[in-house]
Amino acid sequence: MKSQKHMKVLVMASLLIAVGTVVPMIMPKVMIGPMSFTLASHVAVMVAIFISPAVALAVALGTTLGFFMAGFPFVVVMRALTHVIWAYLGAKYAQKNPQIFEKPLKTLQFNIVIALIHAIGEIIIVIPFYYGNGMDMQSFAYMIFGLVGLGTVIHSSIDFCITLPVWKALSQSRSINDISQVKTINLIKNA
């Protein structure tokens, strides 16, 4: 029985890695300067948060490797690697407090906190790529704090809003519900 549960977890993590790697290749992108924001690119990692910290780590690392193997620019691969941090922290918090998804305000707070952690990680990664690149400080600050920082908070928040109904649908499956730490999302029960 335990090995069957482990197999389900492994299959789910593998499917999420595959989806999380393919989505950025096929979904619409918004390009602003050197940054690109791809609709739903974080959904697979965010779904993993509802399953467990181990799955969140595996999916964040697996999608990073997938981006590398698919030939994404190195800065994009490094930005994807930062997903390990917010995905793990989000999954640990969800594991200890699964009831937060029963109240809209608590869910919103969770969304904002992981979006801020996400943005801070990506800001730290991109600074060395753009600092001293012949840009004046105003352009540099706009790019780092505006495009990367605020852009990531908005992008992450939108993807989390997409993730909630996706997780609601997935959690209806007994196989998925058996391996997840967050069993249901009452917040969107009537959606």
Query: What's the confidence (pLDDT) of residue 154?
Result: 96
Domains and CATH numbers, the chain: 2-188 (1.10.1760.20)
pLDDT at position 101 over 80:
yes
Structure token pair of residue 73: 């620019």
190 versus 179: the higher-pLDDT residue is 179
Query: What's the confidence (pLDDT) of residue 191?
Result: 43
HEC states along 4-54?
A: HHHHHHHHHHHHHHHHHHHHHHHCCEEEECCEEEECCCCHHHHHHHHHCHH
User: What secondary structure letter does DSSP report for 173?
Assistant: S
Tell me the residue type at 8. Answer: K
Q: Evaluate whether 92 touches 53 at the Cβ level (below 8 Å).
A: yes
Query: What are the φ and ψ backbone dihedral angles of 31, each rounded to 5 degrees?
Result: -105, 125
Averaged over 150-161, what is the pLDDT?
A: 96
- Band (42; pLDDT cuts 50, 70, 90): very high
pTM (2 d.p.): 0.91
Query: What are the φ and ψ backbone dihedral angles of 190, each rounded to 5 degrees?
Result: -95, 5
Query: What's the confidence (pLDDT) of residue 1?
Result: 63
CA dist., res. 155 & res. 10, Å (int): 28
pLDDT at position 190 over 70:
no
The length of the chain is 191
